[in-house]
Amino acid sequence: MKAVFSLALDNHDLSRLRSCQGKLAGRWLEALPTSWMLALKPCDFRLAASLRLGDPLPFAAGVSTCECNANIDRRGYHLLTCKFGGGPVWAHNCVVSGWADCVGDAGLVCKVEPRYEYVNNDNRPDIVAFGSGTGECFDLDISLAHPWSSEASRRSAVEDGAAAFFREKISKYRTCQRSAGSTAKFIPIVAEHFGRWGQSALDFLQSLGRVVERAEGRAQKNIFLRYWRRRLSVLIQYCNSNVITHKLSRPCFGS
C-alpha cells in the first residue's frame, strides 16, 4: 500500500484509497449472498466496485447535469451527496435501520428516533439503546461522510479516516437534551461512503460483541461480529448504489 501512495495520485484518489483500506470497508467483497441483507444485485455490485476502484460510473456516460442543475462528476461524489431528491436522508435512514437491527441482535432494547422524550425534539438521537444486563443506555447518532466533502477533503488525502473523525467531532457537539437525569452515553456512528467506519462505530460494535459473549459465549460473539461486519459493509454499498441509481433514473437527466 505504501508503494501505491507514492504514485502521482490526486487528492481524491489518495483519500479514496485511505478510506477503502479502513476496517470493514471491504468486507462486502467477502460476504456470501446467503440472504438479501448480505447480497448486492449485480448492477449494485458493479457500481460499488466502480466507486471503490475510482472508475467512471458505468451508468454516467452522457449524463452531465443533476436535477439541482449542478454538474455531475463521473465518480459519483455529487450523486451521493446531493440533497435534492432526498438521497442522503434515505441512505441515513437505511443505516439507522441496519444499526437498530444490530443492536437488537446483541440483546439490547432499542428505539429508533424516540419522540417526545427530548427537550429539543428535532435534535434527538437516531437510536436509543438500553442494555438490561448492564443497565447502560446509549444514544446513537448516525451519519454518512464523504472524504471529498469540503470540510474533510484536504485532511482525507493525508490522514486515514479524517472524514469520519471530523464528523464524529461535529456529532459530539450536538446536544441531545434529554429530560433531566439522563446518563446515556453518546455514540457517534459514522460511515464514510467508501465503506470505512469511524473509530467510535468500530468500538461500539466491539462492545456489542462483548455483550453477546457475556450472554452466549465466545463462539457466538465471533459469529455475531463476523455477520455484522459483513452486513454493515454491504449496507453502505447498497445505499450508495441505490442513491446513485435512483438519481440517474430521474426523467430529467440527460440534458
Contact positions toward Zn ion, by CB under 5 A? 66, 68, 70, 82, 84
Min CB(231)–Zn ion separation in Å: 29
Nearer to Zn ion, 51 or 103 (CB): 51
The residue whose grid cell reads 459530539 is 172
User: Which residues pair with residue 27 across a beta bridge?
Assistant: none
Nearest-angstrom CA–CA distance, 27 and 227: 10
Alpha-carbon Rg of the chain, whole angstroms?
19
The Cα-based distances of 192 to 81, 143, 146 in angstroms read 12, 9, 5
Beta strands (DSSP E) in 121-246 are 127-130, 137-145, 185-192
Nearer to Zn ion, 88 or 131 (CB): 88
Min CB(84)–Zn ion separation in Å: 5
Nearer to Zn ion, 178 or 193 (CB): 193
Min CB(235)–Zn ion separation in Å: 23
The residue whose grid cell reads 487528492 is 11
Nearer to Zn ion, 181 or 251 (CB): 251
- Grouping H, G, I as helix, E, B as strand and the rest as coil, residue 178 is strand
Min CB(30)–Zn ion separation in Å: 33
Min CB(181)–Zn ion separation in Å: 44
Nearer to Zn ion, 5 or 253 (CB): 253
